[in-house]
Amino acid sequence: MVIATILLAAGGSTRLGQPKQLLVQDGQTLVRRMADVALGLQTGPVLVVLGANADRIRAELDSLPIQFVQNDAWADGLASSLRAGLHALPPTTDAFLVLLTDQPFVSPELLRQLIDTQLKTGRGIVASRYGESAHLGVPALFNIRYKAEFMQLNGDVGARKLIQQHLPDCADVLFPQGNIDLDTPEQVIRWQSM
């Protein structure tokens, strides 16, 4: 089974005032850390979608065996980056993981759990459940049959919308720290003090 990983790294981080992809955790930028986690799965290609700050982020990842996908329409919102990544998937892809760069507590174990849950349940979507709430989101694994629906998304809409639309075909894995955002300086300070 070929599982590609789409790492979304195109955003402009306007509320933060600096590229969140280049924030440092334990001596490593978040985008580098997430790319390493994705590559460690060894389930298929890793595609990194670039947009704002593309040159700086590309320089951070240049030594890795990943595929860069340029999204010149990144300012149109998350959906454009998803479409760019999906458009670049090889035809042999059976499923794809969607990852963000600003979820610092994503681990290889979490991603393996998503894959194992899909294999056990046969569900077309396996999403992360943020704590005990009903909130489901990324990282999430999607069967390739959902590609066409993703290609119809527009604006600042992402995987969460499709997860909500297809709950009967969705399994979940607990990820209590999934709702930690790094969108503002205050949120970054809170994260760095954890």
pLDDT in tens, 174-190: 998 887 878 777 887 78
Report which of residues 71 and 187 the model is more confident about: 71
Residue 16 pLDDT exceeds 80: no
Domain of 16 in residue numbering reads as 3-192
Q: How many domains does the chain have?
A: 1
104: nearest Cα among 194, 6, 3: 194
- 83/71 Cα distance (integer angstroms): 9
**Selected residue with higher pLDDT from 181 and 166:** 166
The residue-averaged pLDDT of 34-53 equals 96
Residue 190 pLDDT = 82
Q: State residue 147's pLDDT score.
A: 97
Q: What is the pLDDT of residue 193?
A: 78
Sheet strands (E) in 74-166: 95-100, 125-129, 136-143
CA angle centred on 172, ends 36 and 119, rounded to 5°: 75
Does residue 146 have a pLDDT over 90? yes
CATH of the domain at 56: 3.90.550.10
> What's the whole-model pTM score?
0.94
pLDDT band at residue 127 using 50, 70 and 90 as cut-offs? very high
- Please determine, for residue 14, whether its predicted confidence score (pLDDT) is greater than 80: no
Phi, psi of 193 (to 5 degrees): -95, 0
In the predicted model, is pLDDT for residue 133 greater than 80? no
